[in-house]
Amino acid sequence: MIRVVSYNIHSGRDLFWRKRLVQMAKTLIALNADVICLQEVHENSKYGYQARYLSEQLSYSMAFSPSIALADGFYGNALLTRLPCKESGSILLPARREKRTLLSATLVWQEREIRIWNTHCSLQAVSRTMQVRLLRTLAAEAPETPLLLFGDFNAANVSFSPLLFDCARELGREGLPTLPTFRRRLDYIFASPHWVVQSYALSPVTWSDHVPVIAELDWRAQEPAAPAK
């Protein structure tokens, strides 16, 4: 099975803005995931080179998708992985105000290429709708390639069906809040039909305002049917 995590690290700080990056690193080490997708990550001297620090602590390779220029660096999304990474890049998402990006990477798991996407959608509803629409369009362009989509979508009841399924909903766990203080689920892991979800859980740590979302998946026994033309 492949073990994956999505985690909004809130600039490496907890709900009371105390620095918690060291504790986050220890939690991520303990989670022992193959793929970790992070949102609200800094790579600048003002808040620290957080993706770099976490990758070094875990001895994982790193990819970073800059969304906003900040101080002498950037703020955005990050990918940490122990799997071979063939390529990674950043796609600008439509937004009326604050810039948002999609981190896209191609990894190799069990001798097969898989796509990993990581994003953080807008708080503003119109921008968020445009972003989800573009993600849906992009996902439909290569349905033959296994895809996992991670992120903080800043909304409840996000759906990419039938292109992608919601790992929490597959196991009846969609009621679990990923933003515990406000009892809301904003963080998701979506998967293409190539996958079957074996487990889904949240890690009840308080290092961020969000909690880590953990899923374990394996190949579906039968390949999904090709889409009708």
Q: In this predicted model, what pLDDT tens digit does every residue of 51-80 receive, in sequence order? A: 999 999 999 999 999 999 999 999 999 999
Examine residue 227 and state whether it is found in any structural domain, yes or no: no
Tally the domains of the chain.
Answer: 1
Q: In this predicted model, what pLDDT tens digit does every residue of 112-128 receive, in sequence order? A: 999 999 999 999 999 99
Task: Examine the pLDDT at 223 and tell me if it is beyond 70.
Answer: no
Residues 107, 22, 43, 122, Cα dihedral to 10°:
80
Q: In this predicted model, what pLDDT tens digit does every residue of 155-189 receive, in sequence order? A: 999 999 999 999 999 999 999 999 999 999 999 99
Mean pLDDT to the nearest integer, 85-110: 96
Examine residue 169 and state whether it is found in any structural domain, yes or no: yes
User: What range does the domain containing 161 cover?
Assistant: 2-219
Task: Examine the pLDDT at 226 and tell me if it is beyond 60.
Answer: no
pTM of the model: 0.96
Give the C-alpha separation, 71 to 207, whole Å: 24
Task: Examine the pLDDT at 38 and tell me if it is beyond 50.
Answer: yes
Examine residue 226 and state whether it is found in any structural domain, yes or no: no
Per-residue pLDDT, 215: 98
Residues with Cβ within 8 Å of residue 216, at least 6 apart in sequence? 1, 2, 3, 4, 197, 198, 199, 200
Torsions phi, psi of 41, nearest 5? -110, 140
Task: Examine the pLDDT at 229 and tell me if it is beyond 50.
Answer: no
CATH number at residue 71: 3.60.10.10
Give the C-alpha separation, 28 to 24, whole Å: 6
Examine residue 224 and state whether it is found in any structural domain, yes or no: no
